[in-house]
């Protein structure tokens, strides 16, 4: 398995790390599965091998060049290749940009595509980042298209993949930790949760404005925002908006939180809000659904395939503040509606995102790819 890998698997940072940890946890619980995780790390001087209960983790020192170029054919990819040859695995599974360097001709190879950075970058206000979008698009087409076997985490991702390659695409959603299914709900009245890496694409300002509107209407609401800001400038902008709207008492910026704290926040949340401008298949939506928390999220990209509008949550336009506030208010005030949506959210999460189902599908794909390689 190739992916970013956290120092502590209980504290993953971002959706890809969370998804990889969830899959590795599920695979490690199966008999006769030996797992190795290989990760390139900036700022590391030497290579380290860690024996952990989940897997043998190979932390390789990355080169000085940007990660995209390093994995395409730079020193990082060469180091990865040497590590693979030493392990001699039955299957190689790339996650995220680690697959851009292409598959192995003699080792069954699978590449999970979590999304497209070329689409994410166009939502940034920083022109330096936005100008990288065309470069990423070229890299994605070349890197993804070189793989005969791909995994798509959502129908939205599948649609995008079909525009850049003619590979064999298997839909397998990301697995979430079983602990999210065990959360005992004890919602605090009026509590709204926002969770995730907080950058401009996540559009947290819309959530703050909706809370201000509900507060002005006399509703008792509070917003907890759990996540690290992408940069200090954006943090200051959001803090300025909170001050401008006078909702300092209603909005709490919690910063980056542990998985334990996130589960505690979900236990107390009445609803999750995610008014993003662009997303693929956010892990936090699946985690909230597993905890029985209805979701109000944008009707864009991959989110409409996760949320059945009016059944387990509501879909909104990302900058329709009145629409966001209206749907939040409905869930906070109508207990029967909340209970019905909560039950529906749990059911969909069990059927779709539980690691047992995801691991079964993944192991089935491994066998399919191994059989195809043996014939070639």
Q: How confident is the model at residue 13 (pLDDT cuts 50, 70, 90)?
A: confident
Q: Flag whether 246 is in a domain.
A: yes
Q: State residue 189 phi and psi, 5-degree precision.
A: -55, 125
Residue 118: pLDDT over 80: no
User: pLDDT of 231-251, one tens digit each?
Assistant: 899 999 999 999 999 999 999
Q: What is the pLDDT of residue 138?
A: 67
Q: Mean pLDDT score of the chain, rounded to an integer?
A: 90
In this structure, the answer to whether residues 186 and 325 fall within a common structural domain is: yes
- Shared-domain flag, residues 109 and 225: no
Cα separations in angstroms, 125 against 122, 130, 138, 239: 8, 7, 21, 18
CA distance 323 to 343: 23
- pLDDT tens, 47-77? 999 999 999 999 999 878 777 778 777 888 8
Residues 204 and 300 placed together within one structural domain of the fold: yes
Question: Is pTM, for the whole model, over 0.85?
Answer: yes
Confidence of residue 7 (pLDDT cuts 50, 70, 90): confident
Q: What is the pLDDT of residue 219?
A: 96
Residue 139 has a pLDDT of 67
Residues 208 and 164 in one domain: no
- Encoding tokens for residue 11? 């504290």
What is the C-alpha to C-alpha distance for residues 349 and 354, in angstroms, rounded to an integer? 7
Burial class (CB in 10 A: 0-12, 13-18, 19+), 337: middle
Task: Clarify whether residues 68 and 133 are in a common domain.
Answer: yes
Does residue 321 lie within any of the structural domains? yes
Encoding tokens for residue 83? 């590590």
39/165 same-domain check: yes
Arithmetic mean of pLDDT, 91-99 = 89
Mean of pLDDT values over 83-103:
91
For residue 120, being part of any structural domain is answered with yes
In a domain, 252, yes or no: yes
pLDDT digits (tens, 9 = 90+) for 299-357: 998 899 999 999 999 999 999 999 999 999 999 999 999 999 999 999 999 999 999 99
Better-predicted residue by pLDDT, 41 or 127: 41
pLDDT of residue 122: 44
Q: Tell me: the pLDDT tens digits for 121-155?
A: 445 555 555 555 566 666 677 888 899 999 999 99
- Domain span including residue 312: 178-352
Identify whether residues 217 and 361 lie together within a single domain: no
> Is position 88 within any domain?
yes
Regarding whether 171 and 23 lie in a shared domain, the answer is: yes
The 10s digit of each residue's pLDDT in 240-288 is 999 999 999 999 999 989 889 999 999 999 999 999 998 888 999 999 9
Any domain includes 1: no
Q: Is residue 5 in some structural domain?
A: no
168, with CB counted inside 10 A (0-12, 13-18, 19+), is middle
- For residue 284, give the CATH number of its domain: 3.40.50.2000
pLDDT over 70 for what percent of the chain? Answer: 93
pLDDT band at 3 (very low <50, low <70, confident <90, very high): confident
Domain shared by 117 and 22, yes or no:
yes
Name which of 113-122, 126-135, 213-222, 361-370 the model is least confident about: 126-135
* % of the chain residues with pLDDT over 90: 71
Q: Is residue 8 part of a domain?
A: no
Q: Are residues 186 and 217 in the same domain?
A: yes
pLDDT in tens, 148-192: 999 999 998 898 889 888 999 999 999 998 899 999 999 999 999
Same domain, 107 and 148: yes
Same domain assignment for residues 158 and 196? no
As given in the structure block, the two tokens for residue 274 are: 């995610």
- Quote the number of domains for the chain: 2
Please report the pLDDT score of residue 121 as a whole number. 45
């Amino acid at each position: 398995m190739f992916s970013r890998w956290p120092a502590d698997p209980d504290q993953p940072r971002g959706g890809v790390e969370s998804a990889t940890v969830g899959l590795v946890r599920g695979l490690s619980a199966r008999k006769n599965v030996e797992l190795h995780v290989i990760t390139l790390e900036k700022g590391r001087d030497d290579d380290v091998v860690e024996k952990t209960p989940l897997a043998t983790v190979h932390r390789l020192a990355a080169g000085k060049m940007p990660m995209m170029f390093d994995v395409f054919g730079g020193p990082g990819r060469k180091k990865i290749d040497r590590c693979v040859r030493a392990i001699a695995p039955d299957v190689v599974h790339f996650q995220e940009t680690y697959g851009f360097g292409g598959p192995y001709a003699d080792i069954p190879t699978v590449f999970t595509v979590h999304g497209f950075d070329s689409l994410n970058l166009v939502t940034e206000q920083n022109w330096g980042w936005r100008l990288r979008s065309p470069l990423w698009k070229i890299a994605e087409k070349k890197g993804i298209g070189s793989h005969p076997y791909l995994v798509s985490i959502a129908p939205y991702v599948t649609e995008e993949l079909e525009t850049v390659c003619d590979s064999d695409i298997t839909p397998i959603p990301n697995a979430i930790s079983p602990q999210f299914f065990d959360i005992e709900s004890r919602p605090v009245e009026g509590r709204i949760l926002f969770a995730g890496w907080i950058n401009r694409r996540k559009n947290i300002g819309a959530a703050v404005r909706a809370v201000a509107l509900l507060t002005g209407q006399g509703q008792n609401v509070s917003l907890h925002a759990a996540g690290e800001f992408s940069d200090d400038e954006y943090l200051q902008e959001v803090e300025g908006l909170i001050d401008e709207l006078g909702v300092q008492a209603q909005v709490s910026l919690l910063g980056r939180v542990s998985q334990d704290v996130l589960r505690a926040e979900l236990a107390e949340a009445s609803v999750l809000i995610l008014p993003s401008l662009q997303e693929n298949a956010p892990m936090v939506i699946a985690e909230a659904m597993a905890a029985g928390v209805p979701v109000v999220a944008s009707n864009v990209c991959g989110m409409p395939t996760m949320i059945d509008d009016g059944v387990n949550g509501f879909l909104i336009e990302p900058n329709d503040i009145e629409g966001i506030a209206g749907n939040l208010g409905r869930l906070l005030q109508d207990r029967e509606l909340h209970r019905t949506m909560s039950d529906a959210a749990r059911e969909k999460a069990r059927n779709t995102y539980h690691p047992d189902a995801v691991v079964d599908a993944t192991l089935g794909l491994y066998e399919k790819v191994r059989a195809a390689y043996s014939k070639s």
